[in-house]
Amino acid sequence: MRDFAAIDFETANNQRSSVCSVGVVVVRNGEITDTFYSLINPEPNYYNYWCSKVHGLTREDTEDAPVFPHVWRQIEPIIEGVPLVAHNRPFDESCLKAVFRVYQMDYPDYTFYDTLCVARKVFPTLPNHQLHTVAAACGYRLGNHHHALADAEACAWIAREIL
C-alpha cells in the first residue's frame, strides 16, 4: 500500500469519545506528504488517572483546545481519498466512530487497516506486538510513545514496511 493516512488517538478517560489528541501522517506514493497534530477538548471532559499516566495529558492541557468537529474539519481534506491505518485498529476506529456519534456528525465509513493484525503474522516471534516493539522490528525508533503524532509516525513507518 503506497497511499494511506496513519492515525492515532489518545483518550482522556475510558469513554471512546473522549479523544484528547490526534496525530495523522499522510503517505502518498510511499512518501510522507503531510502530518497533523492537535490537542482536543474531550467529550466527556474529565481525565482519569490511568489515561493521564499513559500519555501525560491533563485537563489543563486541553482546556483551551478546540472541540473535535473543528479539528476534524482540518483533517478531512488531508485524508481525502486514502484509507486509514492504525496500530490496533479496533481502538482508533471505535474512537473515531464514537466521537462522530457524540457530535452527531455523519460518519463517512472510512476504510481502516490494522498494522497490529498484520504484524502478528509478519513477526510471529516478537516478544509482543506493541507499537514500539513492532516499530523497532521495522527499523524505526519510537522516541515519544503515546504522543499521538509520534505514534502515527511509527504506524506509518510500519505500514510502509509490512502492508
Domain ranges, ordered by start, for the chain? 4-162
Kindly give, in sequence order, each residue whose CB lies less than 8 Å from that of residue 97, ignoring residues fewer than 6 positions away.
Answer: 16, 107
Structure confidence by residue, pLDDT tens digits, 2-19: 999 999 999 999 999 999
In which band, very low, low, confident or very high, does the pLDDT at 137 lie, cut at 50, 70 and 90? very high
Question: With the CA atoms of 69, 38, 109 and 96 taken in that order, what torsion angle do they form, in degrees rounded to the nearest 10?
Answer: -90
* Mean pLDDT in residue range 70-88: 98
Structure confidence by residue, pLDDT tens digits, 85-133: 999 999 999 999 999 999 999 999 999 999 999 999 999 999 999 999 9
How far apart CA 128 and CA 71 sit, in angstroms, is 33
Per-residue confidence (pLDDT) for residue 49, from 0 to 100 = 97
Per-residue confidence (pLDDT) for residue 129, from 0 to 100 = 98
Residue 142 has pLDDT above 90, yes or no: yes
Structural fold of domain 4-162:
Nucleotidyltransferase; domain 5 (3.30.420)
How far apart CA 58 and CA 75 sit, in angstroms, is 23
DSSP 16: T
Per-residue confidence (pLDDT) for residue 151, from 0 to 100 = 98
How far apart CA 157 and CA 153 sit, in angstroms, is 6
* pTM (2 d.p.): 0.96
21 neighbors 45 (Cβ within 8 angstroms): no
* Mean pLDDT in residue range 34-58: 97
Mean confidence (pLDDT) of the chain: 97
How far apart CA 96 and CA 16 sit, in angstroms, is 8
- Taking residue 143's Cβ as centre, other Cβ atoms within 10 Å add up to 10
In which band, very low, low, confident or very high, does the pLDDT at 1 lie, cut at 50, 70 and 90? confident
Question: With the CA atoms of 135, 139, 144 and 147 taken in that order, what torsion angle do they form, in degrees rounded to the nearest 10?
Answer: -40
Per-residue confidence (pLDDT) for residue 162, from 0 to 100 = 96
